[in-house]
Every structure is written in C-alpha cells, then in structure tokens.
C-alpha cells in the first residue's frame, strides 16, 4: 500500500499548493478592486487565511467535520454489533482500532475521517444501523477502513475544509460587492480612473466565480477513483462483495435525506448524501462514481474477492481498455498476503 499512501500524500500537498495559489490570486485581484494599491494587502490577508486554514484543517479538521455532522462518540455497550464489526475490520486490515461515532439521522450513510490510522474515526448514521444486515454493515465499515488504509482520509478531510472555505470567501466577496460596489465604482469614475478600476472589478468578479469552480474541479478530478479503490478493499477485507453491493443498493433506494450533510462534506460519505444535487446536475459533477456502476462491479467479481478480480470487473463493467489500471501489480501482490478473512472477536453478537 506504500504507493497509494505516497500518492495520497502528494495529492494532499498539491491540493494545498494549488489552493494557496488560487487564494493569493484572488486576494491580489479582489484587494486591488476594492482599493487602488490594495492588491498586496489582499495577498497578505489571503496568505494569513490560507496558513490558518491549512493548520486548522490538518490538526483539527476531523473534529470540525464530526461536529458539523453531529456525530457522537460511542462505546461498545452503546452499539455492540457495530463495535464488533469495526473490531473485525481493524483486525483484518491490520490497522489500529478507530474511534466509533453515531449520527442520529434516519438516512443510511457513513464516513471515515482523521489525519492517519492512529487518529482515524468512523461515523455511521442511525439509519445505517437500523436498515442494514450484519453483512451489509460489515461491507460499509470495510469500505471506510479502505479509506483509512489508503490514506484517503487526510486528503478528503483537508479538501472538504479548504475548498469549502474558499467557496464561502468568494461568495462573501460577491455579496459584499453587490451591496457596496455601485457607490465605489461611481466615486472612482469621478476621480478619472473609472476605466482601469472597472476592469479590475470585472476581473475580481471573474476570479470570485472561477476560483471555487477550479478548486472544485481539482477535487472532483481525483475523488472518484478513491471510491472504487475503497470498494475493492472492502471486497478484499470481507471476502464477500455482495455485502457492500446490497448495502449500496439500499442506500441508493432509501427515500430519507441526510439532513446534516452539505456540499463541503458530501464527498466524505460512502454515497452522495445530497440526493437533490445528484438529480439536478449531470453525473460528472458528482464526487462519487455512479452508484449503479459500483454495485454492478461488485456483483460482477469472479474468481475470488481479490484486487485483481475487482480490477477485471471494473474494466468489464465500465468498458475500459485492458491497459486501464486501477490497482498496481505491487498492491495486488501485497493484498494477497495482507488481507486475511476477518476473525470473529470474542463476545456476544447482537
């Protein structure tokens, strides 16, 4: 898994670097549009905001996401079956036992977050516990452990916060501009510099609109592949891909909407929780692959629940080239020795 871990660390670095560039450009243009010579002030403010956000998202991002999601920590006595399933998947993956949280919401869903496996947390909704069988619950938890194993959790945690805040900042500027922009523009024209300032204002508006779009596209470009990989890891950990396939089918058909989810945190979940969003926008704008395709891949796995069998099903279902590769040969070889059938922990099963 070292290749996947290294790749996700590189993605996290580039995400932070690209968002820093976008925020600096936005600060320069927006600052200059507000006051002549204010571009450098805008850059300094943007750098301060970026530094604070990066540190906060890295060291406290998981706590923020759990708080936003209204997730409450539990002990084994609170949900014995869930706790046992998480213990099983922790043993099967060779990872430390993550903290377990429950979100009191009737919509079935789940996510994992944290900086690394030692600080990882898995949160599931009450609806998931009530509506899933044990095998389905195991498939979902194994999927989330796959995100922990592949180090997706750091990247998605930071992306959720940084991209979300960049969108909010640009939205705040646009709202402020429409409130006070007219009077400032007229005063600048009276000063004889209306043409240059008008161009800056137009550039600022374009930047405020494009910056969050570019950041979002960067996020979407690399978020879908991690879902396929986590599905493959779930199949390898449980040796029963039908468990996750059946769980995804129930989640997709469930009418309840996850009230605590929003556009910034939606990519964390095992399935896109904002169903009206999926209905209004085309599929390529979703943070998740089509759920129907994910289910079909899992049910098309032949020759054992291994990385290789998942990759073959991924190619066949998606009509991808035989040269297309989701998982490297080294990772496939490691999975054959690393992933063992899950052991049942001692204790009552409920």
Higher pLDDT, 281 or 96: 96
pLDDT at residue 38 greater than cutoff 80: no
Q: What are the angstrom distances between the C-alpha of 122 and each of 36, 269, 270?
A: 49, 10, 11
63 belongs to a structural domain: yes
Stretch 67-73: mean pLDDT: 95
184 belongs to a structural domain: yes
Q: What is the total count of domains within the chain?
A: 1
72 belongs to a structural domain: yes
Cβ-proximal residues to 122 (8 Å cutoff; 6+ apart), any chain: 86, 98, 99, 100, 101, 110, 111, 112, 141, 144, 145, 148
Count of H-run helices and E-run strands, the chain: 12, 4
Query: What pLDDT, on the 0 to 100 scale, is given for residue 193?
Result: 53
Short-list 146, 153, 148, 297, CA closest to 234: 146
Stretch among 112-116, 163-167, 176-180, 242-246 having the lowest mean pLDDT: 176-180
Query: What pLDDT, on the 0 to 100 scale, is given for residue 336?
Result: 60
User: Rounded distance, CA 252 to CA 109, Å?
Assistant: 10
pLDDT at residue 348 greater than cutoff 70: no
What is the chain's percent helix, strand, coil content, to nearest 5?
Answer: 70, 5, 25
350 belongs to a structural domain: no
347 belongs to a structural domain: no
pLDDT tens digits, 305-337: 888 899 999 999 998 888 888 877 776 776 665
* Unique residue bearing structure tokens 């609170």: 78
Task: Indicate the pLDDT class of residue 204, thresholds 50, 70 and 90.
Answer: low
pLDDT at residue 282 greater than cutoff 50: no
233 belongs to a structural domain: yes
Query: What pLDDT, on the 0 to 100 scale, is given for residue 278?
Result: 44
Query: What pLDDT, on the 0 to 100 scale, is given for residue 128?
Result: 97
Cα 155–Cα 131–Cα 269 angle in degrees, nearest 5? 10
Short-list 143, 99, 92, CA closest to 118: 99
pLDDT tens digits, 332-342: 776 665 665 54
Higher pLDDT, 157 or 185: 157
Stretch among 153-167, 212-226, 227-241 having the lowest mean pLDDT: 212-226
**Length of the chain measured in residues:** 350
> How much is the mean pLDDT over the chain?
80
CB 337 within 8 A of CB 272: no
pLDDT at residue 218 greater than cutoff 90: no
Q: Which domain holds residue 8?
A: 2-338
50 belongs to a structural domain: yes
Q: Which residues are part of the catalytic machinery?
A: 144
User: Rounded distance, CA 47 to CA 176, Å?
Assistant: 21
pLDDT at residue 148 greater than cutoff 90: yes
Task: Indicate the pLDDT class of residue 206, thresholds 50, 70 and 90.
Answer: confident
pLDDT at residue 241 greater than cutoff 90: yes
Stretch 143-154: mean pLDDT: 90
User: Rounded distance, CA 319 to CA 44, Å?
Assistant: 49
> In this prediction, what percent of the chain has a pLDDT beyond 90?
39
Short-list 294, 163, 281, CA closest to 225: 294
pTM higher than 0.85: no
344 belongs to a structural domain: no
* Unique residue bearing structure tokens 């180090």: 151
Higher pLDDT, 56 or 133: 133
Higher pLDDT, 132 or 304: 132
User: Rounded distance, CA 164 to CA 311, Å?
Assistant: 32
């Amino acid at each position: 898994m070292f290749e996947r871990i290294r790749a996700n660390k590189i993605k996290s670095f580039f995400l932070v670097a690209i968002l820093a560039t976008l925020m600096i450009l936005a600060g320069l243009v927006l600052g200059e549009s507000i006051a002549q010579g204010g571009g450098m002030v805008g850059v300094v403010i943007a750098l301060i905001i970026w530094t604070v956000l990066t540190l906060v998202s890295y060291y406290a991002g998981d706590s923020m996401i759990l708080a936003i999601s209204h997730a409450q920590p539990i002990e084994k006595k609170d949900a014995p079956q869930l706790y046992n399933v998480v213990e099983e998947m922790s043993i099967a993956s060779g990872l430390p036992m993550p903290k377990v949280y429950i979100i009191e919401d009737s919509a079935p869903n789940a996510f994992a977050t944290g900086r690394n496996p030692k600080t990882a947390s898995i949160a599931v909704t009450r609806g998931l516990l009530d509506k899933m069988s044990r095998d389905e619950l195991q498939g979902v938890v194994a999927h989330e452990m796959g995100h922990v194993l592949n180090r997706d959790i750091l990247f998605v945690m930071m992306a959720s916060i940084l991209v979300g805040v960049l969108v909010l900042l640009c939205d705040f500027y646009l709202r402020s501009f429409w409130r006070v922009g007219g009077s400032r523009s007229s005063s600048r024209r009276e000063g004889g510099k209306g043409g240059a300032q008008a161009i800056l204002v137009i550039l600022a508006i374009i930047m405020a609109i494009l910056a969050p779009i570019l950041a979002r596209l960067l996020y979407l470009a690399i978020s879908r592949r991690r879902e396929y990989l986590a599905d493959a890891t779930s199949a390898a950990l449980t040796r029963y891909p039908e468990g996750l396939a059946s769980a995804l089918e129930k989640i997709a058909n469930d009418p309840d909407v996850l009230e605590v989810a929003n556009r910034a945190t939606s990519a964390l979940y095992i399935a896109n929780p904002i169903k009206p969003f999926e209905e209004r926008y085309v599929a390529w704008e979703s943070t998740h692959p089509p759920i129907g395709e994910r289910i079909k891949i899992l049910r098309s796995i032949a020759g054992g629940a291994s990385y290789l069998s998942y990759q073959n099903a991924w190619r066949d279902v998606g009509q991808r080239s035989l040269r297309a590769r989701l998982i490297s040969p080294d990772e496939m070889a490691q999975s054959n020795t690393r992933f063992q059938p899950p052991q049942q922990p001692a204790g009552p099963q409920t």
